Amino acid sequence: MSHLKQTHYAPLTEAVAIELALSLNFFTENAVLSCKEIGDGNLNLVFHIVDEQGSKGLIIKQALPYAKVVGESWPLTLKRAKIEADALKTFGQLAPDYVPTIYFTDDVLAVTVMEDLSHLLIARTGFINGETYPLISKHLGEYLAKTLFYTSDYGLGPSAKKEQVQMFINPELCKITEDLIFTDPYFDADTNYFEDGLLSDVEALWQDDELRFQVNLLKRSFLTEAEVLLHGDLHTGSVFASNSETKVIDPEFAFYGPAGFDIGQVFANLLFQVIVNTKNQERFVHHIETVWNVFKDEFTHLWNTENKEILAKTDKFLSYTLAKFFEDSLGFAGCELIRRTIGLAHVTDLDSIEDEKTRLAAKRKTLELGKILIKQRKEIINCAAFISKVKEVL
Protein backbone atom coordinates (compact mmCIF):
# COMPACT_ATOMS: atom_id res chain seq x y z
CA MET A 1 0.00 0.00 0.00
CA SER A 2 1.36 3.41 -0.91
CA HIS A 3 1.13 6.05 1.76
CA LEU A 4 -0.16 9.56 1.51
CA LYS A 5 2.61 12.01 2.36
CA GLN A 6 0.29 14.84 3.32
CA THR A 7 -0.59 14.59 7.02
CA HIS A 8 -1.55 18.19 7.85
CA TYR A 9 -4.42 20.19 6.41
CA ALA A 10 -3.85 21.90 3.08
CA PRO A 11 -6.22 22.17 0.14
CA LEU A 12 -5.64 19.13 -2.07
CA THR A 13 -4.28 19.52 -5.56
CA GLU A 14 -5.40 17.10 -8.26
CA ALA A 15 -2.03 15.30 -7.95
CA VAL A 16 -2.35 14.87 -4.18
CA ALA A 17 -5.97 13.72 -4.59
CA ILE A 18 -4.66 10.94 -6.87
CA GLU A 19 -2.01 10.07 -4.28
CA LEU A 20 -4.76 9.83 -1.64
CA ALA A 21 -6.89 7.62 -3.90
CA LEU A 22 -3.94 5.27 -4.50
CA SER A 23 -3.17 5.09 -0.77
CA LEU A 24 -6.67 3.70 -0.15
CA ASN A 25 -6.01 0.66 -2.36
CA PHE A 26 -9.31 1.30 -4.10
CA PHE A 27 -7.58 1.12 -7.48
CA THR A 28 -4.88 -1.36 -8.51
CA GLU A 29 -1.32 -0.17 -7.86
CA ASN A 30 -0.58 0.30 -11.59
CA ALA A 31 -3.83 2.06 -12.40
CA VAL A 32 -3.49 5.20 -14.51
CA LEU A 33 -5.68 7.69 -12.73
CA SER A 34 -6.97 11.01 -13.94
CA CYS A 35 -8.47 13.62 -11.67
CA LYS A 36 -10.58 16.72 -12.17
CA GLU A 37 -11.81 19.25 -9.63
CA ILE A 38 -15.54 19.45 -10.33
CA GLY A 39 -16.91 21.30 -7.29
CA ASP A 40 -19.57 23.81 -8.27
CA GLY A 41 -21.12 24.33 -4.82
CA ASN A 42 -20.64 27.23 -2.45
CA LEU A 43 -18.18 25.74 0.02
CA ASN A 44 -15.96 22.79 -0.93
CA LEU A 45 -13.51 21.19 -3.33
CA VAL A 46 -14.76 18.06 -5.10
CA PHE A 47 -12.36 15.80 -7.02
CA HIS A 48 -13.53 13.15 -9.47
CA ILE A 49 -10.92 10.42 -9.94
CA VAL A 50 -11.20 7.74 -12.60
CA ASP A 51 -9.14 4.79 -13.67
CA GLU A 52 -8.50 5.51 -17.35
CA GLN A 53 -8.43 1.80 -18.28
CA GLY A 54 -11.22 0.55 -16.08
CA SER A 55 -14.65 1.84 -15.27
CA LYS A 56 -13.95 2.54 -11.61
CA GLY A 57 -14.12 5.99 -10.12
CA LEU A 58 -14.50 7.77 -6.83
CA ILE A 59 -15.18 11.19 -5.40
CA ILE A 60 -13.00 13.01 -2.88
CA LYS A 61 -14.67 15.94 -1.20
CA GLN A 62 -12.61 18.35 0.86
CA ALA A 63 -13.80 21.24 3.00
CA LEU A 64 -12.05 24.57 2.45
CA PRO A 65 -11.33 26.76 5.50
CA TYR A 66 -13.51 29.51 4.03
CA ALA A 67 -16.77 29.87 2.10
CA LYS A 68 -15.82 29.48 -1.57
CA VAL A 69 -18.90 31.46 -2.63
CA VAL A 70 -17.57 34.59 -0.86
CA GLY A 71 -13.80 34.04 -0.59
CA GLU A 72 -11.16 33.86 2.12
CA SER A 73 -12.71 36.82 3.94
CA TRP A 74 -15.43 34.42 5.22
CA PRO A 75 -13.59 31.80 7.33
CA LEU A 76 -15.44 28.56 7.91
CA THR A 77 -14.65 25.69 10.25
CA LEU A 78 -13.12 22.51 8.84
CA LYS A 79 -15.01 20.59 11.55
CA ARG A 80 -17.93 20.53 9.13
CA ALA A 81 -16.18 17.74 7.20
CA LYS A 82 -16.53 15.46 10.25
CA ILE A 83 -20.16 16.46 10.73
CA GLU A 84 -20.82 15.70 7.08
CA ALA A 85 -19.03 12.35 7.20
CA ASP A 86 -20.86 11.33 10.40
CA ALA A 87 -24.19 12.43 8.92
CA LEU A 88 -23.57 10.50 5.70
CA LYS A 89 -22.78 7.39 7.75
CA THR A 90 -25.88 7.85 9.94
CA PHE A 91 -28.25 8.57 7.05
CA GLY A 92 -26.60 5.77 5.04
CA GLN A 93 -27.56 3.26 7.74
CA LEU A 94 -31.15 4.54 7.89
CA ALA A 95 -31.85 5.00 4.18
CA PRO A 96 -29.05 3.13 2.33
CA ASP A 97 -30.73 3.31 -1.08
CA TYR A 98 -30.60 7.10 -1.04
CA VAL A 99 -27.15 7.90 0.37
CA PRO A 100 -23.73 7.40 -1.29
CA THR A 101 -21.39 4.77 0.12
CA ILE A 102 -18.52 6.24 2.13
CA TYR A 103 -15.09 4.61 1.70
CA PHE A 104 -12.85 6.75 3.87
CA THR A 105 -12.88 9.91 5.96
CA ASP A 106 -10.08 11.96 7.52
CA ASP A 107 -10.91 14.71 10.00
CA VAL A 108 -7.47 16.38 9.75
CA LEU A 109 -7.48 16.62 5.96
CA ALA A 110 -11.25 17.37 6.13
CA VAL A 111 -11.90 14.83 3.37
CA THR A 112 -14.63 12.33 2.63
CA VAL A 113 -14.00 9.70 -0.03
CA MET A 114 -17.18 8.31 -1.48
CA GLU A 115 -18.91 6.40 -4.23
CA ASP A 116 -18.62 7.85 -7.72
CA LEU A 117 -22.04 9.24 -8.66
CA SER A 118 -20.97 10.64 -12.03
CA HIS A 119 -23.58 8.52 -13.83
CA LEU A 120 -26.15 10.75 -12.10
CA LEU A 121 -26.78 14.48 -12.45
CA ILE A 122 -27.46 17.13 -9.83
CA ALA A 123 -31.28 17.22 -9.76
CA ARG A 124 -31.50 21.01 -10.06
CA THR A 125 -29.41 20.90 -13.26
CA GLY A 126 -31.40 17.96 -14.57
CA PHE A 127 -34.73 19.66 -13.96
CA ILE A 128 -33.51 22.84 -15.67
CA ASN A 129 -32.43 20.71 -18.65
CA GLY A 130 -35.88 19.12 -18.88
CA GLU A 131 -35.33 15.85 -17.01
CA THR A 132 -38.45 14.46 -15.33
CA TYR A 133 -36.99 12.11 -12.68
CA PRO A 134 -40.26 10.21 -12.20
CA LEU A 135 -39.12 8.50 -8.97
CA ILE A 136 -37.32 11.36 -7.24
CA SER A 137 -40.30 12.46 -5.14
CA LYS A 138 -41.11 8.93 -3.97
CA HIS A 139 -37.45 8.43 -3.07
CA LEU A 140 -37.21 11.76 -1.24
CA GLY A 141 -40.45 11.02 0.66
CA GLU A 142 -38.97 7.71 1.83
CA TYR A 143 -35.59 9.26 2.63
CA LEU A 144 -37.28 11.98 4.71
CA ALA A 145 -39.54 9.53 6.57
CA LYS A 146 -36.69 7.18 7.47
CA THR A 147 -34.08 9.78 8.42
CA LEU A 148 -36.52 11.97 10.34
CA PHE A 149 -38.32 9.14 12.16
CA TYR A 150 -35.29 7.04 13.11
CA THR A 151 -33.35 10.02 14.49
CA SER A 152 -36.29 11.31 16.58
CA ASP A 153 -37.10 10.54 20.22
CA TYR A 154 -39.77 8.16 18.87
CA GLY A 155 -37.48 6.15 16.60
CA LEU A 156 -34.26 6.29 18.61
CA GLY A 157 -35.37 6.66 22.23
CA PRO A 158 -34.56 9.75 24.29
CA SER A 159 -31.15 8.67 25.67
CA ALA A 160 -29.59 7.60 22.37
CA LYS A 161 -31.12 10.68 20.77
CA LYS A 162 -29.38 12.96 23.29
CA GLU A 163 -26.03 11.32 22.42
CA GLN A 164 -26.70 12.16 18.78
CA VAL A 165 -27.76 15.72 19.55
CA GLN A 166 -24.35 16.15 21.19
CA MET A 167 -22.50 14.56 18.27
CA PHE A 168 -24.14 16.88 15.76
CA ILE A 169 -23.72 20.24 17.51
CA ASN A 170 -22.90 22.40 14.48
CA PRO A 171 -22.89 26.07 15.56
CA GLU A 172 -20.89 27.55 12.67
CA LEU A 173 -22.99 26.08 9.90
CA CYS A 174 -26.23 26.74 11.79
CA LYS A 175 -25.16 30.38 12.06
CA ILE A 176 -24.98 30.57 8.26
CA THR A 177 -28.57 29.35 8.05
CA GLU A 178 -29.71 31.58 10.91
CA ASP A 179 -28.25 34.61 9.11
CA LEU A 180 -28.88 33.82 5.45
CA ILE A 181 -32.34 32.28 5.78
CA PHE A 182 -33.92 33.78 8.88
CA THR A 183 -32.33 37.22 9.27
CA ASP A 184 -30.58 38.95 6.37
CA PRO A 185 -33.39 38.81 3.76
CA TYR A 186 -35.64 40.77 6.17
CA PHE A 187 -33.54 43.94 6.40
CA ASP A 188 -31.07 45.82 4.24
CA ALA A 189 -28.14 43.47 4.95
CA ASP A 190 -24.88 43.54 2.94
CA THR A 191 -25.25 39.87 2.04
CA ASN A 192 -28.46 40.44 0.08
CA TYR A 193 -28.40 40.92 -3.66
CA PHE A 194 -31.19 41.33 -6.17
CA GLU A 195 -32.02 43.20 -9.34
CA ASP A 196 -32.77 46.95 -9.05
CA GLY A 197 -36.19 46.19 -10.52
CA LEU A 198 -37.11 44.25 -7.38
CA LEU A 199 -36.24 47.04 -4.95
CA SER A 200 -39.81 48.15 -4.24
CA ASP A 201 -40.94 44.53 -3.72
CA VAL A 202 -38.04 43.92 -1.36
CA GLU A 203 -38.61 47.16 0.55
CA ALA A 204 -42.26 46.15 1.04
CA LEU A 205 -41.03 42.87 2.49
CA TRP A 206 -38.65 44.69 4.88
CA GLN A 207 -41.53 46.79 6.12
CA ASP A 208 -43.89 43.85 6.64
CA ASP A 209 -43.99 43.57 10.44
CA GLU A 210 -46.28 40.54 10.47
CA LEU A 211 -43.93 38.71 8.09
CA ARG A 212 -40.90 39.57 10.24
CA PHE A 213 -42.76 38.37 13.35
CA GLN A 214 -43.63 35.05 11.71
CA VAL A 215 -40.05 34.58 10.45
CA ASN A 216 -38.87 35.14 14.02
CA LEU A 217 -41.16 32.33 15.17
CA LEU A 218 -39.71 30.04 12.52
CA LYS A 219 -36.18 31.09 13.46
CA ARG A 220 -36.95 30.32 17.12
CA SER A 221 -38.12 26.88 16.05
CA PHE A 222 -34.86 26.36 14.10
CA LEU A 223 -32.83 27.56 17.11
CA THR A 224 -34.56 25.56 19.80
CA GLU A 225 -36.52 22.51 18.57
CA ALA A 226 -34.17 19.51 18.54
CA GLU A 227 -36.73 17.13 17.00
CA VAL A 228 -34.69 15.15 14.48
CA LEU A 229 -31.30 14.94 12.78
CA LEU A 230 -31.70 17.22 9.78
CA HIS A 231 -29.74 17.18 6.56
CA GLY A 232 -29.90 20.94 6.96
CA ASP A 233 -29.42 21.98 3.31
CA LEU A 234 -31.76 19.72 1.36
CA HIS A 235 -32.19 21.69 -1.85
CA THR A 236 -32.15 20.10 -5.31
CA GLY A 237 -28.42 20.90 -5.60
CA SER A 238 -27.86 18.41 -2.76
CA VAL A 239 -29.53 15.56 -4.67
CA PHE A 240 -28.05 13.44 -7.45
CA ALA A 241 -30.65 11.80 -9.68
CA SER A 242 -31.42 9.71 -12.73
CA ASN A 243 -34.74 8.22 -13.82
CA SER A 244 -34.17 5.29 -11.48
CA GLU A 245 -31.85 6.49 -8.70
CA THR A 246 -31.75 9.27 -6.11
CA LYS A 247 -28.82 10.01 -3.81
CA VAL A 248 -28.80 12.73 -1.17
CA ILE A 249 -25.36 14.32 -0.66
CA ASP A 250 -23.70 17.21 1.21
CA PRO A 251 -25.18 17.06 4.75
CA GLU A 252 -22.52 19.40 6.22
CA PHE A 253 -25.31 21.53 7.74
CA ALA A 254 -26.63 18.52 9.68
CA PHE A 255 -27.82 19.19 13.25
CA TYR A 256 -30.81 18.44 15.46
CA GLY A 257 -33.62 20.76 14.47
CA PRO A 258 -37.30 20.88 13.49
CA ALA A 259 -38.35 18.12 11.03
CA GLY A 260 -40.25 20.58 8.85
CA PHE A 261 -37.00 22.28 7.86
CA ASP A 262 -35.80 19.47 5.55
CA ILE A 263 -39.31 18.87 4.19
CA GLY A 264 -39.77 22.59 3.56
CA GLN A 265 -36.50 22.90 1.66
CA VAL A 266 -37.56 20.06 -0.62
CA PHE A 267 -40.96 21.72 -1.17
CA ALA A 268 -39.41 25.11 -1.93
CA ASN A 269 -36.86 23.80 -4.39
CA LEU A 270 -39.60 21.93 -6.29
CA LEU A 271 -41.70 25.10 -6.16
CA PHE A 272 -38.97 26.97 -8.06
CA GLN A 273 -39.66 24.60 -10.96
CA VAL A 274 -43.45 24.95 -10.54
CA ILE A 275 -42.95 28.70 -10.97
CA VAL A 276 -40.35 28.83 -13.76
CA ASN A 277 -41.14 25.68 -15.73
CA THR A 278 -44.48 26.94 -16.96
CA LYS A 279 -45.01 24.10 -19.46
CA ASN A 280 -44.55 21.39 -16.84
CA GLN A 281 -46.10 22.87 -13.73
CA GLU A 282 -48.34 19.86 -13.06
CA ARG A 283 -45.35 17.52 -13.11
CA PHE A 284 -43.72 19.45 -10.28
CA VAL A 285 -46.98 19.88 -8.37
CA HIS A 286 -47.28 16.10 -8.55
CA HIS A 287 -43.72 15.72 -7.25
CA ILE A 288 -44.58 17.93 -4.25
CA GLU A 289 -47.75 15.94 -3.49
CA THR A 290 -45.82 12.68 -3.80
CA VAL A 291 -43.05 13.83 -1.45
CA TRP A 292 -45.63 14.65 1.22
CA ASN A 293 -47.88 11.61 0.70
CA VAL A 294 -45.00 9.11 0.65
CA PHE A 295 -43.42 10.81 3.66
CA LYS A 296 -46.73 10.74 5.57
CA ASP A 297 -47.46 7.07 4.79
CA GLU A 298 -43.96 5.83 5.56
CA PHE A 299 -43.64 7.96 8.71
CA THR A 300 -47.04 6.66 9.87
CA HIS A 301 -45.92 3.06 9.28
CA LEU A 302 -42.71 3.59 11.24
CA TRP A 303 -44.57 5.43 14.02
CA ASN A 304 -46.99 2.51 14.41
CA THR A 305 -44.43 -0.28 14.16
CA GLU A 306 -41.18 1.06 15.62
CA ASN A 307 -42.21 3.70 18.13
CA LYS A 308 -40.12 3.59 21.30
CA GLU A 309 -42.49 5.90 23.22
CA ILE A 310 -45.39 3.72 24.33
CA LEU A 311 -47.77 6.53 25.23
CA ALA A 312 -47.06 8.50 22.04
CA LYS A 313 -48.22 5.61 19.84
CA THR A 314 -51.74 6.92 19.30
CA ASP A 315 -53.50 8.12 16.17
CA LYS A 316 -54.20 11.44 17.86
CA PHE A 317 -50.56 12.15 18.68
CA LEU A 318 -49.43 10.98 15.25
CA SER A 319 -51.94 13.36 13.59
CA TYR A 320 -50.76 16.19 15.83
CA THR A 321 -47.11 15.46 14.94
CA LEU A 322 -47.74 15.28 11.18
CA ALA A 323 -49.82 18.47 11.27
CA LYS A 324 -47.01 20.26 13.10
CA PHE A 325 -44.39 19.02 10.61
CA PHE A 326 -46.60 20.12 7.71
CA GLU A 327 -47.26 23.60 9.11
CA ASP A 328 -43.55 24.08 9.89
CA SER A 329 -42.53 22.82 6.45
CA LEU A 330 -44.72 25.45 4.74
CA GLY A 331 -43.16 28.22 6.81
CA PHE A 332 -39.61 27.00 6.15
CA ALA A 333 -40.42 26.58 2.44
CA GLY A 334 -41.54 30.22 2.39
CA CYS A 335 -38.24 31.30 3.98
CA GLU A 336 -36.27 29.28 1.40
CA LEU A 337 -38.22 30.83 -1.50
CA ILE A 338 -37.44 34.33 -0.24
CA ARG A 339 -33.77 33.82 0.63
CA ARG A 340 -32.94 32.15 -2.70
CA THR A 341 -34.53 35.12 -4.48
CA ILE A 342 -32.95 38.08 -2.67
CA GLY A 343 -30.32 36.67 -0.28
CA LEU A 344 -26.71 35.58 -0.69
CA ALA A 345 -26.99 32.18 -2.39
CA HIS A 346 -29.41 32.22 -5.32
CA VAL A 347 -30.72 29.32 -7.42
CA THR A 348 -30.05 28.78 -11.11
CA ASP A 349 -33.73 27.94 -11.69
CA LEU A 350 -34.41 31.69 -11.33
CA ASP A 351 -31.12 33.34 -12.24
CA SER A 352 -30.69 31.50 -15.54
CA ILE A 353 -33.85 33.09 -16.99
CA GLU A 354 -32.29 35.35 -19.59
CA ASP A 355 -35.19 37.68 -20.31
CA GLU A 356 -35.22 40.21 -17.49
CA LYS A 357 -38.97 40.80 -17.54
CA THR A 358 -39.70 37.08 -17.31
CA ARG A 359 -37.07 36.65 -14.60
CA LEU A 360 -38.42 39.48 -12.45
CA ALA A 361 -41.98 38.20 -12.88
CA ALA A 362 -40.87 34.76 -11.65
CA LYS A 363 -39.01 36.31 -8.71
CA ARG A 364 -42.06 38.36 -7.72
CA LYS A 365 -43.98 35.08 -7.62
CA THR A 366 -41.42 33.37 -5.39
CA LEU A 367 -41.49 36.37 -3.03
CA GLU A 368 -45.29 36.46 -3.00
CA LEU A 369 -45.63 32.71 -2.46
CA GLY A 370 -42.93 32.82 0.23
CA LYS A 371 -44.85 35.49 2.14
CA ILE A 372 -48.13 33.56 1.86
CA LEU A 373 -46.60 30.28 3.06
CA ILE A 374 -44.97 31.98 6.03
CA LYS A 375 -47.99 34.05 7.09
CA GLN A 376 -50.80 31.63 6.30
CA ARG A 377 -49.15 28.34 7.21
CA LYS A 378 -51.57 27.68 10.08
CA GLU A 379 -54.60 27.97 7.79
CA ILE A 380 -53.15 25.77 5.02
CA ILE A 381 -54.13 22.54 6.70
CA ASN A 382 -53.39 19.94 4.04
CA CYS A 383 -51.58 19.32 0.78
CA ALA A 384 -54.64 20.16 -1.35
CA ALA A 385 -54.94 23.57 0.34
CA PHE A 386 -51.19 24.07 -0.16
CA ILE A 387 -51.42 23.37 -3.88
CA SER A 388 -54.46 25.71 -4.24
CA LYS A 389 -52.44 28.52 -2.63
CA VAL A 390 -49.56 27.83 -5.01
CA LYS A 391 -51.93 27.98 -7.98
CA GLU A 392 -53.40 31.30 -6.81
CA VAL A 393 -49.94 32.84 -7.13
CA LEU A 394 -49.06 31.35 -10.53
Which positions lie near ligand SR1, rule CB under 6 A? 42-43, 67, 69, 176-177, 180, 233, 344-345
Pairing of the two strands 57-63 and 111-115: antiparallel
CB of 262: closest distance to ligand SR1 in angstroms? 13
CB of 176: closest distance to ligand SR1 in angstroms? 5
Our CB check for Mg ion shows the closer of 153 and 233 to be: 233
Q: What are phi and psi of 250, to 5 degrees?
A: 65, 45
CB of 24: closest distance to Mg ion in angstroms? 24
Q: Is 307 annotated for ligand binding?
A: no
Q: Is the dihedral of CA 74, 255, 332, 366 positive or negative?
A: positive
Whole-number Å distance between alpha carbons of 232 and 12: 26
CB of 26: closest distance to ligand SR1 in angstroms? 28
**Three-state DSSP state, 63:** strand
Our CB check for ligand SR1 shows the closer of 43 and 95 to be: 43
CB of 389: closest distance to ligand SR1 in angstroms? 25
Q: Is 117 annotated for ligand binding?
A: yes
Query: Residue number with the shortest CB distance to Mg ion?
Result: 250
Q: Select from Mg ion, ligand SR1, none the partner in contact with residue 153, using the beta carbon and a kind-dependent cut-off of 5 to 8 Å.
A: none
Our CB check for ligand SR1 shows the closer of 42 and 300 to be: 42
Q: Select from ligand SR1, Mg ion, none the partner in contact with residue 180, using the beta carbon and a kind-dependent cut-off of 5 to 8 Å.
A: ligand SR1
Whether the Cβ atoms of residue 83 and residue 168 lie closer than 8 Å to each other: yes
How far, CA to CA in Å, does 140 sit from each of 246, 255, 363?
Answer: 8, 19, 26
Q: Is 297 annotated for ligand binding?
A: no
Q: Select from ligand SR1, Mg ion, none the partner in contact with residue 341, using the beta carbon and a kind-dependent cut-off of 5 to 8 Å.
A: none
Q: Is 201 annotated for ligand binding?
A: no
Our CB check for ligand SR1 shows the closer of 163 and 351 to be: 351
Whether the Cβ atoms of residue 75 and residue 61 lie closer than 8 Å to each other: no
Q: Is 258 annotated for ligand binding?
A: no
Indicate whether 84 belongs to the interface with Mg ion (CB under 5 A): no
CB of 224: closest distance to Mg ion in angstroms? 24
* Extended beta strands in the chain, E state: 33-37, 44-51, 57-63, 66-67, 71-75, 102-106, 111-115, 121-122, 228-230, 239-241, 246-248, 255-257
Whether the Cβ atoms of residue 255 and residue 234 lie closer than 8 Å to each other: no
Binding test (CB under 5 A) with Mg ion, winner from 250, 298, 336, 349: 250
Q: Select from Mg ion, ligand SR1, none the partner in contact with residue 176, using the beta carbon and a kind-dependent cut-off of 5 to 8 Å.
A: ligand SR1
Whether the Cβ atoms of residue 246 and residue 239 lie closer than 8 Å to each other: yes
Q: Which of 269, 42, 252 is nearest to 133 (CA)?
A: 269
CA torsion, ordered 334, 339, 341, 346, to nearest 10 deg? -130
Q: Could you list the residues that contact Mg ion (CB under 5 A)?
A: 41, 233, 250
* Numbered residues of the known binding site for substrate: 233, 339
